[in-house]
Structure 1
Amino acid sequence: MTRRLLPVLAVALLTACGTEPPAPEPVTPEPVAHYVALGDSYAAMGSLSAPTSGPADCFRSADNYPALVLADPLILAGEDASCSGAVTADIPTQVAALTPDTDLVTLSIGGNDIRFGDIAGCFHRALTEPVDCPALLDAPVHHLLSTLPAELDGVYDTIGALSPGARIIATGYLPLLADGECPELAAVPEEHRAWALDVTAEINAVVRETAERHGAGFVLPADAESHSVCAEPAQRWTDVTGELTDAYPMHPTPAGQRAMAEAVLAVL
């Protein structure tokens, strides 16, 4: 009898005798000594009504996902250095928060590099006037998508040089819209919405692939497309106007920030 069959037989015998095998010991996550959040407005902006910290134009909300991660008992110390409007070239100004002892970094960057703000602004205009956002933006957005991996590589190299022992978790971009019926975007042609959804999937693929190339993690809350502006207000993780969700226009809602925090904490 091979040695590897013995544990299986032991479990079978215990079960046959009416004795359950012992449950596996729960795995206790290691505390995080120093956490730093880097990124753009998808990390920085939480509730519209929440107080903010840092530079005024960063809109760094007290209930964004970095703040919620920082509040978890597992996190012993840290800093939220995220800032609205940030692009990969701005990360060198944020990494001043990193130290050689930093052992966890979340990274939410890349959207502004491919003109996410212009895409969001165009679709916001499309609510009240006819505008063909794909025709205006497809060529420049896809050119910038082709250059984004190299820009993200530089970010990872910078983090690695300053905090060589840090675990890095990249966060994906929560989609603003979804396929199918979408009452909030009834004025926007469905093929235009499909284009925006494809762009979101493409940037998330680039963010994920770059993270994997550098040995980093990637998180995006499950079933995110079901929680876009096309969902009922209480179910939205992103919103277009933010009027019914206490969110900044075209950004994650408070519920979306909570979902992202939970996704980050779940992989620690």
Structure 2
Amino acid sequence: MPALSRLAVAAVASLAVVASAFAPAASGAPARTADRPEYVALGDSYSAGVFVRPWEEHDGCGRSGRNYPHQVAGQLGFALTDVTCGAAEVVDGVLGPQPAAKIHGPPTIPPPGGWSDLPAQVEALSPDTDYVTVGIGGNSLGFGAIVAKCLELGITKPLQPKPCTDHYSDGGAGEGWLEGGFTQLDTDFAHMMTVIHRRAPHARVAVVGYPAIVPDNSGCTFGRWNQLGSIKKGDMPWLDGLELRLNALLEKHAAYHGASYVDTYGPSATHGVCASGDAKWMYGIKDNLTGDGDQTDPPTELCQSFPGTGEACTFVHPNARGLDNQTRQVTRALMTP
């Protein structure tokens, strides 16, 4: 195997360790006023808007001042408490504390003392809460680790047209693990919705789905790391189907628990990671940063070893245009009677 291939394999294998990371107004609870409805935003990196400038740096959650919680609150005049956090899971993050070991930024290089454990996001809810959005589930399922595995298999199985699909389906080695993940997420998500309604009994709740990553692989090129890097084109339809299945689970629980479901996938279906120019609403594996200001995320040693010339290991997250799409859909959902 050529030296570059060995380096890439080592990088994607190591990336699985941190893949779950991925994942303005102050995020602390604001003073409640009679004319400002209280809005609490819960969720993971897709809701936090990680890697879109400007982001907060004090706790490693990477919340962007351009994320949909901030934009929605600004447009609708809500008093915002944004406790979204990169790498958050349903259990470790929303229902329970998020351990420091599961906090990855940006900034991806922690301060000298490291990050601190964060309280459960649901602690921000109260009977005074008027609106709640929650975008969560991908990290609980292990979506980041799955993407990392697909990257690895694209390099180590060069003659197989769809090695990741084969690994996770039709009796493959990862099929049982994946199905177990869906079963556990189904249980945990149902419990989370019950807790949200119990803590914020008067709130309007919206479950925010995940935007399209690779709905169409026609513009994708193997080895382009500002797209999907070493993931085979033959695996992309399966990866898209996995995301649709995840969104279907979220939508099911929203309906059962009387919450709105926010579809961000449909409106972004022609704006995936392989789209060009301004039509691209999704970062690739390693990409240039978007948003306002001049913040940078100094690459870790792992990121530096990764192929590609992007500014940061953005690992498939919405860029600034993607956050604007989320904002439009969430605003519409919260304002629809």
Query: Which residue does the alignment assign to 2:273?
Result: 229
Any unmatched runs of 5+ in structure 1?
Answer: 1-30
CA–CA distance in 2 between the matches of 1:139 and 1:182? 32
C-alpha deviation, 1:45, in angstroms: 2.4
The range that moved more, 123-132 or 242-251, is 123-132
**Equivalent residues in 2 for 1:49-64 (5 A)?**
49-53=53-57, 55-56=59-60, 58-64=61-67
Q: Can you list the C-alpha shifts for 1:64-111, whole angstroms capped at 9, x where unaligned? A: 111111211x23312111011111112130012112111110010111
The range that moved more, 246-255 or 170-179, is 246-255
Amino acid at match of 2:324: R
Give the TM-score normalised by structure 2: 0.64
**3-state SS of 1:238 partner:** coil
**Equivalent residues in 2 for 1:1-268 (5 A)?**
33-53=37-57, 55-56=59-60, 58-72=61-75, 74-89=76-91, 90-92=93-95, 93-125=120-152, 130=157, 132-134=163-165, 135=167, 137-185=174-222, 188-221=231-264, 222-241=266-285, 243-244=287-288, 246=290, 248-267=314-333, 268=335
Q: Does structure 2 conserve the Cα–Cα contact (< 8 Å) formed by 1:156 and 1:214?
A: yes
Residues 185/173 of structure 1: CA separation in 2 closer, same or farther (3 Å cut)? farther
CA–CA distance in 2 between the matches of 1:151 and 1:44? 21
Q: Does structure 2 conserve the Cα–Cα contact (< 8 Å) formed by 1:66 and 1:80?
A: yes
Q: Which has the higher helix share?
A: 1
- Number of aligned residue pairs: 236
Q: Spell out structure 1 runs of 4+ moving beyond 6 A.
A: none
Q: Does structure 2 conserve the Cα–Cα contact (< 8 Å) formed by 1:170 and 1:208?
A: yes
Q: Does structure 2 conserve the Cα–Cα contact (< 8 Å) formed by 1:40 and 1:109?
A: yes
CA–CA distance in 2 between the matches of 1:188 and 1:241? 10
Q: Does structure 2 conserve the Cα–Cα contact (< 8 Å) formed by 1:38 and 1:80?
A: yes
Residues 76/94 of structure 1: CA separation in 2 closer, same or farther (3 Å cut)? same
CA–CA distance in 1 between the matches of 2:271 and 2:153? 21
The range that moved more, 187-196 or 45-54, is 45-54
Find the structure with the greater CA-based Rg.
1
Q: Does structure 2 conserve the Cα–Cα contact (< 8 Å) formed by 1:46 and 1:257?
A: no
Residues 62/129 of structure 1: CA separation in 2 closer, same or farther (3 Å cut)? farther
User: RMSD over aligned Cα, in angstroms?
Assistant: 2.2
**3-state SS of 1:52 partner:** coil
Q: Can you list the C-alpha shifts for 1:107-161, whole angstroms capped at 9, x where unaligned? A: 1011111101112323444676547323054432222112322111111111111
Give the TM-score normalised by structure 1: 0.80
Amino acid at match of 1:84: G
* Sequence identity percentage: 28
Residues 190/216 of structure 1: CA separation in 2 closer, same or farther (3 Å cut)? same
CA–CA distance in 2 between the matches of 1:142 and 1:182? 30
Q: Does structure 2 conserve the Cα–Cα contact (< 8 Å) formed by 1:39 and 1:109?
A: yes
Any unmatched runs of 5+ in structure 2?
Answer: 1-34, 96-119, 169-173, 224-229, 291-311
